[in-house]
Structure 1
Amino acid sequence: MEKNDDKRPRPTIELRRSELGDAAALARILSHPEVLPGLLQMPYTGEEQWKQRLTDNLGPGRANDLHLVALIGGELVGSAGLHGSGPSPRRRHVMNIGMAVAPEAQGRGVGRALMAALVDYADNWGQVLRLELGVFVDNERAIRLYKSFGFEVEGHQRGYALRDGRYVDCYAMARLHPNPPRWGG
């Protein structure tokens, strides 16, 4: 194990595609009171709702979506996904990112591992030119992570979402493929 910024041992992080059996862990993490305020998820989502979301993610028309989970010692501690930007054929080159990491795993490389996998998939396998995400302006740790992967703030969205009874601002961030594929013939 290597050391990280806060001197805790850096654990071995396993990444894999999500499975229906992950529903309970996803419901636990994404509804955690320290995680939920950083997401656009609604509170009180349960295991059955996550089973349905995971089933939907495996359905027709979602073949290009990628939903990963991160595990430490066999326990699910993080989740991240690439999702199409909508039905318009003119935006097929764009994917949106969502991510969440359990509080006990934050600062231990989980977000970095998930983001590296998403960027690798987008750049080398997914025919993605543009990655987009939204992040609340007060989520400094996430903003630093995204910038380290080449994301830039493209807009400041005022009053973007209701969070715990207050409207809060969000940054629209994006990253363009640094070296888009070309035919070598």
Structure 2
Amino acid sequence: MEHIIRCLENTDTSDLAEIYSFQSVTQNTSQVPFLSSEKVASLFSNPDHYTLVAEYDSKVIGHVTLFMTTKVRDRHCSGVGIAIHPDFHGKGVGKSLMIKAIEQADNWLNLVRLELEVHCDNPTAVALYEKLGFEHEGTKRLSTFKHGKYSDMFVMSRIAPNFR
């Protein structure tokens, strides 16, 4: 499946809102189901964040965001968030977005550390992150609430190879 990776544009909000309208997407993010389009737009309005989108047939089908910080002592670090439209799960969209985000982090944004949290019951995402060089740092027990119960999250990070 041929898709392109590009930077986020203001006109992408409705496609992103559609992605976040699926409970199968929000259950694996920090968001709750039934987000308004205004709430989704606000998630992407911070000028300090860096977002790439995957586009297929003129429609945004996924995004990856590097959550940059203005904290002086943490500028070498970034959090990572990703979401893919359910129709495109398992088709390499997440992998291509993550690869491009890592390339930007390593070669253009001067980031040393990328960090993320992933639901322990999402083995597909965990496997992807491991393949891309993320390592487990720990488990946050009972750290999030979904489907009526508390669940654990893995904390994972990737240190830029040229830094080591």
Tell whether the structures are fold-level matches, with TM greater than 0.5: yes
Deviation by residue 1:52-75 (Cα, 9 ceiling, x = unmatched): 333x323xxx1xx31111111222
Which string of whole-angstrom CA distances, capped at 9 and with x for unpartnered residues, describes residues 116-164 of structure 1?
A: 0110000101110000000000111101110011000101110111112
SS at the partner of 1:34? helix
Residue 76 of structure 2 is matched in structure 1 by 93
After superposition, give the CA deviation of every residue in 1:17-39 in whole Å (9 maximum; x if it has no partner): 11221111111112302111101
Q: Where does the alignment leave 5 or more consecutive residues of structure 1 unmatched?
A: 1-10
Which of 116, 120, 142 is the aligned partner of 2:103?
Answer: 120
Of 90, 104, 126, the residue aligned with 2:87 is 104
Instruction: Give the 3-state SS of the residue equivalent to 1:22 in structure 2.
Output: helix
The yes-or-no answer on 1:141 pairing with 2:129 is: no
Residue pair 2:17, 2:41 contacting (<8 A) in 1 also: no
Moved over 6 A (4+): none
Distance 1:77 1:95 in 2: 23
CA-atom RMSD, angstroms? 1.5
1:13 touches 1:113 (CA, 8 Å); kept in 2? Answer: no
Q: How many residues align?
A: 164
In the alignment, the residues of structure 1 paired with residue 41 and residue 157 of structure 2 have an alpha-carbon distance, to the nearest angstrom, of 30
Instruction: Give the secondary structure class of the aligned counterpart of 1:172.
Output: strand
Q: 1:158 aligns with which of 141, 152, 161?
A: 141
137, 150, 154: which one pairs with 1:167? 150
Alignment partner for residue 63 of structure 2, among 63, 67, 79?
79
**Structure 2: unaligned runs, 5 residues or longer:** none
11, 19, 42: which one aligns with 1:29: 19
Match of 2:46 among 33, 54, 57: 57
Q: Is the 8 Å Cα contact of residues 27 and 33 (structure 2) preserved in structure 1?
A: no
Please say if 1:69 is aligned against 2:53: yes
Point out the structure with max Rg over C-alpha: 1
How high is the TM-score relative to the length of structure 2? 0.94
Which residue does the alignment assign to 1:129? Answer: 112
Which residue identity does 1:109 align to in structure 2?
Answer: G
Alpha-carbon distance in 2 for matches of 1:143, 1:52: 27
Q: Percent identity?
A: 34
